Amino acid sequence: MKRLFFYTIALLSTVTACRARQQMPAEAGIRVGAADTAAYFPLLEGRRVAVLANHTSVVDLPGAPGTDDEGRVHLVDLLHARGFRVTGIFAPEHGFRGTADAGARVNNSTDERTGIPIRSLYDGNTHRPSDEAMRSFDVLLVDMQDVGLRFYTYYISMLRMMEACAGCGRQVVVLDRPNPNGSHVDGPILDMKYKSGVGALPIPVLHGLTMGEIARMAVGEGWCPPCDLTVIPCRNYTHDAEYVLPVAPSPNLRTQRAIYLYASLCLFEGTPVSVGRGTSKPFEIFGHPAMTGCDFEFTPRPTAGAAHPPLENRLCFGRDLSAMPMDEARATGFTLRYVIEACRNLGMGEKFFTPMFEKLVGAGYVRRMILEGASEEEIRARWADDVARYVERRKRYLLYE
């Protein structure tokens, strides 16, 4: 008979304290789950620990072993310094150090500082860790900074590991982090016929969940097999709080503005239009050699994190959003106006879109309506009711107001 798995949610504050925290200014006192060592260190004592982590898995713990001059320490270094038995590191897209191109294969390796083996989940072959890898640990610690988008792949790596842990009876502990786009819930719900490596769940483009909340909802809705799941929540965080990421989450999301604009500009990855990969402003600009009436130009060239960017070495004309006020960028959420603008400017018809567009936007009707000349308001009306239903389902899994 299969073991009955359950959730354990480590809620470490009273209702009164939570209400008091909501009165704090943006970012004041926000603490990521990894900083709450008193909540999760006891879960690791005497056990073999594996970590699903990358370069974003850092925490401010002044005075802790292994911290740098700014009082910041990587989770793996912290665990190693405290004497926990860390038997392996699982690495998501972009690798453990976060330097690989989007979707690029990353080989297995060894962490130079600790000697711990690194097992890549993006080596081109691994859809599920080997039985040997799963037998090497008792508890999986998940700590990665997500950006709140359905097509951002860190949550997909977490779901794959959760499924593997469910099948092997391994505990999963998610050290939660704020969602920098957490105040938005918007965009088409993924039609699962477009399920892919950039979209795994029937959720909107901007889903309004943290990694811990995604894990809870995935199990609760039956999207992932039930597993022994513990979430160590953030402190002093609400979904309306402004949270500026201390570390760039991936090579081409270098600024907070890019993180805010990513929801809308990433759709260009399913078109011939460049989003600025291979420039100093990825996801803050867009353009194409044939766009007209534009006073901004750029030329994508090979750079770190973009070895061969789209439209490499071609002069592009388009728009520069890098001077957009930060408040405006944060409020933008998800909009189709840039894609509609570029589609009409280029006049390419169906050739403007590739199959990747549906994988990103999540629904087949968006392309069709754009080509038929529909306005953004008309297209948005198609997903409004779906999002409203999702918002109601989402409520039962929220850890933060």
Across 273-286, b (16+ Cβ under 10 Å) vs e yields bbbbbbbebbbbbb
Tally of CB atoms within 10 A around 269: 20
* Residue corresponding to tokens 């909009």: 335
Alpha-carbon torsion, ordered 316, 319, 323, 324, to 10 deg: -150
Give the pLDDT band (50/70/90) at residue 128. Answer: confident
Residue 316 CB-density burial (10 A; 0-12 exposed, 13-18 middle, 19+ buried): buried
Structure confidence at residue 3 (pLDDT): 34
Which amino acid is residue 176, in one-letter code?
D
Domains of the chain, each with CATH number or no CATH: 7-248+393-397 (3.40.50.12170), 256-363 (no CATH)
Spatial distance between the Cα atoms of 34 and 28, rounded to a whole number of angstroms: 17
Q: What is the pLDDT of residues 364-374, one digit of tens each?
A: 999 999 999 99
The band of 10, judged by pLDDT with boundaries at 50, 70 and 90, is very low
Q: Are 54 and 96 spatial neighbours (Cβ–Cβ below 8 Å)?
A: yes
Comparing CA positions, the residue from 229, 241, 243 lying closest to residue 159 is 229
| Count of beta carbons in the 10 Å neighbourhood of residue 31 | 15
Lowest-pLDDT range of 15-24, 148-157, 191-200, 201-210: 15-24
- CA angle 280–90–6, rounded 5-degree value: 120
**For residue 137, which of 164, 100, 103 has the smallest C-alpha distance?**
164
Tokens standing for residue 175: 């050290």
Per-residue model confidence (pLDDT) at position 234 = 98
The pLDDT score that the predictor gives to residue 122 is: 67
User: Which tokens go with 210?
Assistant: 């943290």
Confidence (pLDDT) at 24: 34
The residue written with tokens 């779901």 in the block is 159
pLDDT of residue 136: 96
More confident residue, 134 or 99: 134
* 57 pLDDT above the threshold of 80: yes
pLDDT (tens digit per residue) in 307-341: 999 999 999 999 999 999 999 999 999 999 999 99
How many Cα neighbours within 13 Å face the side chain of 58?
Answer: 19
Q: Which of 51-65, 168-182, 265-279 has the weakest average pLDDT?
A: 51-65
> What DSSP letter does each residue of 173-233 carry, written as one string?
EEE----TTTT--BSPPPPGGG-BTTB-SS--SB----HHHHHHHHHHTTSS----EEEE-
Mean pLDDT of the chain: 89
Sequence-ordered list of residues with C-beta below 8 angstroms from that of 328, at least 6 positions apart, any chain = none
How does DSSP classify residue 47?
S
Tokens describing residue 295: 């006073």
pLDDT of residue 130: 86
Per-residue pLDDT averaged across 196-206, rounded? 97
Which pLDDT score is estimated for 124? 55
Average pLDDT over residues 375-392: 98
Which amino acid type is present at position 341?
E
> Confidence band (pLDDT; 50, 70, 90) for 347?
very high
The answer for residues whose C-beta is within 8 angstroms of residue 334's C-beta and 6 or more apart is 184, 186, 187, 204, 205, 206, 263, 264
The whole-number pLDDT of residue 2 equals: 33
* Secondary structure of residue 230 in the 3-state scheme: strand
For residue 140, pLDDT beyond 90 = yes
Backbone φ and ψ of 312, nearest 5°: -55, 130
When pLDDT is averaged across residues 149-172 and rounded to a whole number, the result is 96
Supply the pLDDT for residue 6. Answer: 35
Contact yes or no for 76/86 (Cβ under 8 A): yes
Q: What are phi and psi of 39, to 5 degrees?
A: -85, -30
Q: Give tens-digit pLDDT for 75-101.
A: 999 999 999 999 999 987 756 764 544
pLDDT in tens, 277-307: 999 999 999 999 999 999 999 999 999 889 9
DSSP state of 253: B
Specify the 3-state DSSP secondary structure of 274. strand
Query: Is 174 a residue whose pLDDT tops 90?
Result: yes
